Amino acid sequence: MGTIQNHPYQIPNSLTHLVIIGGSDAGISAALRARELDSTVAVTVVVADNFPNFSICGIPFYLSGEVADWRNLAHRTADEITQTGINLLVNHKATNIDSQKRSVEVVNQEGEIKYLNYDKLIIGTGAVPVEPQLEGLQLPGVFLLHSMGDSFAIHRYLTESEPKSVVIIGDGYIGLEMADALTHRGLEVTVVGRSPTVMRTVDGSIGNLIASELQSRGVEVVNSVEVKTIKENGKQLVVYGTNDFSKNTDMVIVAVGVQPLTELAHNPGLKTGKKGAIQVNRKMETNVSNIYAAGDCVETWHRFLGEYIYLPLGTTAHKQGRIAGENAVGGNQEFAGSLGTQVVKIFDLAVARTGLRDSEAEAAGFDPLTVEFDTWDHKVYYPGAKKLRIRVTGDRKTQQLLGAQIAGHYQGEVAKRIDIFATAIFHSMKVEELSQLDLSYTPPLSSPWDPIQMSAQAWMRQS
């Protein structure tokens, strides 16, 4: 085989066929990187459905009607992918891996079986929704949401049955985005969660801001309730939970998290760990030679904790897939690790976090201090200034920056600002060093001291 352009290593002469199971973020990222580095390698991507490289994160915006055509959710069209030399095998499910014969068994929708021989294999099967143990999950009008197929089923129900109300079980990212989406469509929305405040991945004061935003848009927020049963009552459904909760509704969406899809791991003897996710090293190699894995089906190296956790994120899947694709054709890259940087838009509120919260930092052995600071997103004399709430977590002893959370108007540069915190944590900066960063300023967009710098200074005053 040829030399990888602009890289100091050689393509192994034995490599002829790279098979990738999974056509979402990790799988397509791996395929594109492999072909980018070596145009002679044959790459086959096995896709269980007919939607390679679609943005699952965009589904709520399709269901809200803000994205009118579901086809626009494709990061790339199938034609654009195949034009790079990648072979797409859509509507084929991988059912078995024989690591001794280096073969993958796949079955199409007609039940026909094929066998794909590989020199290197990448598993990027992703995750599936958690199905809670509750009665009534299979009733008409009750939906899980994770795939394009799920979105079509919900869209069909919305248009044909014309429900007027919906109960969303789960108050995490997807549940809250769907509350926004279905309110946008004119439904009466109730969000039910088990935690005392919504979105338990952020602190309670941020959760309360989210609840206020939801309630201001007419969404009913129910905390500290675990749903136990869904029953039919005439043409409606009734949702029952703890603390004597009951709610009549026309529709139910269940969004209580995801779990890794790793049933293929067992036969070839791939080791699994947290929540059943496939164990990999930072080169995305599994314990079985010539098999890599990436994305929501694997454990993720946490850069700050220095350990593997289960943290399914689209951004992480893209990075891991790229590394797996490069290493499968002779590279030697390592995944730098995740900090759990995330942002979500809920109506006009953007909420973001990175690194460790106070409780997480304490569990990891730090001596954390978290300071909350409210300020304006830009100079208040310029019209349209909005409030930001920033929570900074640092270590009292070392003053190392451990984490941050931000909530504010979605046009208030929340995502940009959490990314600055993430970059600082990535490079092991101390809280005080944030004040030294040379950040941009103009009155319509910021202040001479950016809000993240003011929040860092507030932390220093209390440390």
Residue 16 pLDDT: 79
Mean pLDDT throughout 426-449? 97
Mean pLDDT throughout 259-264? 96
Residue 88's pLDDT band (cuts 50, 70, 90): very high
Quick one: tokens of 250? Answer: 């026309």
Residue 25's alpha-carbon distances to 125, 312, 322, 452, in angstroms, are 10, 11, 10, 31
Of 400, 399, 404, 406, nearest in space to 463 by CA: 399
Enumerate the active-site residues.
Answer: 57
Whether 404 and 421 have beta carbons less than 8 Å apart is answered as: yes
Quick one: tokens of 284? Answer: 């995305």
Residue 373's alpha-carbon distances to 388, 392, 455, 458, in angstroms, are 8, 8, 6, 7
- Report whether pLDDT(174) > 50: yes
Domain 17-127+258-328 has CATH 3.50.50.60: yes
Three-state DSSP at 187 gives coil
Residue 5 pLDDT: 34
Helical packing angle, 451-462 and 414-426, nearest 10°: 50
Q: What is the largest distance, in Å, between two alpha-carbon atoms of the chain?
A: 70
Three-state DSSP at 32 gives helix
Residue 2 pLDDT: 32
Q: What are 303-353's pLDDT values in tens digits?
A: 999 999 999 999 999 999 999 999 999 999 999 999 999 999 999 999 999
Bridge partners of 280?
A: none
Mean pLDDT across the chain, nearest whole number?
A: 94
Whether 92 and 106 have beta carbons less than 8 Å apart is answered as: yes
Q: Specify burial of residue 156 (Cβ count, 10 A radius: 0-12, 13-18, 19+).
A: exposed
CA dist 313 and 59 (Å) reads 15
Q: What are 230-257's pLDDT values in tens digits?
A: 999 999 999 999 999 999 999 999 999 9
Whether 48 and 93 have beta carbons less than 8 Å apart is answered as: yes
Quick one: tokens of 98? Answer: 């024989």
Whether 262 and 276 have beta carbons less than 8 Å apart is answered as: yes
Q: What are 335-344's pLDDT values in tens digits?
A: 999 999 999 9
Mean pLDDT throughout 422-451? 97
CATH 3.50.50.60 region(s) of the chain?
17-127+258-328, 142-254, 342-462
Mean pLDDT throughout 12-41? 89
Interior CA angle at 188 toward 182 and 189, to 5°?
65
Mean pLDDT throughout 92-108? 96
Whether 394 and 401 have beta carbons less than 8 Å apart is answered as: yes
Residue 15 pLDDT: 60
Domain 342-462 has CATH 3.50.50.60: yes
CA dist 150 and 200 (Å) reads 25
pTM above threshold 0.75: yes
Q: What are 104-140's pLDDT values in tens digits?
A: 999 999 999 999 999 999 999 999 999 999 999 999 9
Written out in words, the top-level CATH class of the domain with range 142-254 is alpha beta
Mean pLDDT throughout 347-373? 97
Residue 3 pLDDT: 31
Quick one: tokens of 33? Answer: 């990187």
Residue 148's alpha-carbon distances to 62, 82, 90, 124, 127, in angstroms, are 10, 21, 14, 17, 13
Residue 6's pLDDT band (cuts 50, 70, 90): very low
CA dist 73 and 89 (Å) reads 20
